[in-house]
Structure 1
Amino acid sequence: MITRWLFEPVPKGRIASFRTLVYLFVALDLVVFTPWVRSHANTPGELYEPLLIGRLLHLPTPGPLLVWGIFWTLLTLSLAAATGRAPRALGWAVFLLYFEWMIIAMSYGKVDHDRIGLLVALAALPTAGAARHGDQDRTSAGGWALRVTQIAVICTYFLAAFAKLRFGGLDWFTSSVLAQAIIRRGTDLADAIASVPGLLIAAQIGIIAFELLSPLVFVVPQRWRNAVVAFFYSFHVVTFSTITISFAPHLVAMASFLSLERIRPIHWLRTRKPPSGTPETLPNRTTPSPADHP
């Protein structure tokens, strides 16, 4: 039963669209969301404190050659991978390069937890095989790639709640966490919310409840699942509009829940041959043919 759930077949078109979305985001991430990683090319080496995986693999200390080499190679390969060509070769290359890019990014004192789902997606997509946009044939390998990405997305929520309760205990519910976030990076909307007595405490209780209950998305009926995922996205819209935290990589990974096969890039540019038997393929009967005459 668990195996059937993990490998539940999905349309290949869904894999193709998700693959394009993920790899295009990688390219966008390099130049828009995390351009600051490139500054580590000139950061003194003694400030580099590699994550555990970096220490286990004995990865080199970042320098100009390593950082800029990864940047340009990863940018080129991610754009190529977005086309769907050579899904395994390009997919594994993008995953390994982006994984090292994240180790460089997070080895200077700050580790973001919004990239777990994206990293899992990058690791799983090469195993999904070839897929074309709009293809309705189903694939179990693709289903597994999406399922493990979904699990990583939900673990991000659930483990975030676990961390809050582990380090903050029950006092986290009534703490000033949101108030401090609003002071540091709040918007006008956040200021308006903060002025309502008790609302921030209620919001903190709601956040913990939402994160702890997030695994229920796997057991709700399919007809309600899209509504649940829409609620997940709306949660991040509110988060960004109040304390300007985007969670962009996480939102991309969360697209693994969506029916992306309905999206067909540049579909309107394709020349479609009219089906047999349509008026375009029938002879013009307004003018009598010789066979019509006696």
Structure 2
Amino acid sequence: MTRWLFAPVPKARIAAFRTLVYLFVPLDLVLFSAWIRGHGNLPGSLYRPLVVGRLLHLPTPTHLIVDAIYYTLIPLSLLAATGRAHRLLGWAVFALYFEWMIIAMSYGKVDHDRYALLVALAVLPTAGRARHGDGIPTEAGGFALRATQIAVICTYFLAAIAKLRYGGLAWLTGATLTRSFIRRGTLPARWLLRIPGFTTVSQVCIVGFELLSPIVFFVKPRTRYLIVAGFYLFHLLTFCLITISFIPHQIAMAGFLPLEKVTPITWLRRRRAGRNGRTAPAEVTTTNPATSGEA
């Protein structure tokens, strides 16, 4: 079990994942969760903190608190994306984004699409130093990715458990998707409503896919990538049909992918070195096939 949890990955993968996650945070604040800023203007009586908020005695959100988090988190995330001071900046970003989520989810609605992203932010400070293009394997980085992957799959698997726990088998045969298609469906969704039994079959398939999602850990890398591509396709279809976005979850799901093969930073280094008339430093690629297991 320990060997699986700490399966080493190239440091370049950690560097790429770290950059992706930390660059997404300011994008999330500005575009996808900008509505949270409005909670600072709400009456304090409407604030019903989550259990963790009560345990930590977090303050009731005010306009000052919400704006302070917003304007502090954006520059800190951009700095953290560089990989410098990864522990100090990483823990700061996690703490602020964690409070941002507490503020978001303490007014009656709790989303589950940011759970895996929160886990990623929590474990990235422990992943150690990592540089783009560095192929040296790291167990600490492997654990960070594995923890994120487990969080991604728990999001699916526990969603299915919740559906069956609160909706029972009626969730499979009821009108859940039909109601969603009618209430917020796009034109393709309304067209699909004309197909008899489509929504019922889709509900069975959704729960089945969520319950079987842990299989991604027991297949070969190539098959794993195909399954993860299926996850992305599922979320693309969800957005196209009912405009529900799981972008934070999909960012965390990139922890399954060989991100070290996408090397824009290395390309920029070489291009800049070429302009200065000198040879770019050789990238370390000492990955040991025997120890660089897929996380």
Counterpart in the other structure of 1:27: 26
1:152-175 CA-to-partner distances (Å, cap 9, x unmatched) read: 000000000000000011111111
CA distance in 1: counterparts of 2:147 and 2:27, whole angstroms: 23
CA distance in 1: counterparts of 2:23 and 2:13, whole angstroms: 15
CA distance in 2: counterparts of 1:31 and 1:274, whole angstroms: 36
User: Counterparts in 2 of 1:8-19, with a 5 A limit?
Assistant: 8-19=7-18
CA distance in 2: counterparts of 1:91 and 1:20, whole angstroms: 11
1:246 is paired with a residue whose SS is coil
1:52-81 CA-to-partner distances (Å, cap 9, x unmatched) read: 000111110000111110101101100110
Shift of 1:179: 0.8
CA distance in 2: counterparts of 1:178 and 1:136, whole angstroms: 45
Q: Give structure 2 stretches of 5+ with no counterpart.
A: 283-295
User: Counterparts in 2 of 1:247-258, with a 5 A limit?
Assistant: 247-258=246-257
Counterpart in the other structure of 2:151: 152
Shift of 1:183: 1.4
Q: Which fold has the larger relative contact order, with Cα–Cα distance below 8 Å and residues 6 or more apart in sequence?
A: 2
Q: Give structure 1 stretches of 5+ with no counterpart.
A: 277-294
Distance 1:81 1:183, change over 3 A: same
| Runs (4+) off by over 3 Å | none
Shift of 1:220: 1.0
1:126-179 CA-to-partner distances (Å, cap 9, x unmatched) read: 000110111101100000000000000000000000000000111111110001
Shift of 1:257: 0.1
Query: What TM-score, normalized to structure 2?
Result: 0.91
Counterpart in the other structure of 1:222: 221
CA distance in 1: counterparts of 2:97 and 2:264, whole angstroms: 25
Counterpart in the other structure of 2:42: 43
Shift of 1:216: 0.2
Counterpart in the other structure of 1:118: 117
CA distance in 2: counterparts of 1:10 and 1:145, whole angstroms: 10
Counterpart in the other structure of 1:77: 76
Counterpart in the other structure of 1:187: 186
Distance 1:22 1:198, change over 3 A: same
1:28-68 CA-to-partner distances (Å, cap 9, x unmatched) read: 01000000111111111100000000011111000011111
Higher deviation after alignment, 25-34 or 259-268: 259-268
CA contact 1:134–1:263 (8 Å) conserved in 2: no
1:93-149 CA-to-partner distances (Å, cap 9, x unmatched) read: 000000000000000111000111000000000000110111101100000000000
* Matched letter for residue 39 of structure 1: G
Give the aligned CA root-mean-square deviation in angstroms: 1.3
User: Counterparts in 2 of 1:171-250, with a 5 A limit?
Assistant: 171-250=170-249
CA distance in 1: counterparts of 2:138 and 2:208, whole angstroms: 35
* Matched letter for residue 173 of structure 1: L
Task: Quote the sequence identity (%).
Answer: 65
Counterpart in the other structure of 2:60: 61
2:244 is paired with a residue whose SS is coil
Shift of 1:274: 8.1
2:69 is paired with a residue whose SS is helix
Residue 6 (str. 1) matches residue 5 (str. 2): yes
2:57 is paired with a residue whose SS is coil
CA distance in 1: counterparts of 2:189 and 2:280, whole angstroms: 55
2:141 is paired with a residue whose SS is helix
CA distance in 1: counterparts of 2:39 and 2:234, whole angstroms: 32
* Matched letter for residue 241 of structure 2: T
CA distance in 2: counterparts of 1:268 and 1:213, whole angstroms: 39
Counterpart in the other structure of 2:260: 261
Distance 1:176 1:262, change over 3 A: same
* Matched letter for residue 189 of structure 1: P
CA contact 1:158–1:214 (8 Å) conserved in 2: yes
CA contact 2:6–2:140 (8 Å) conserved in 1: yes
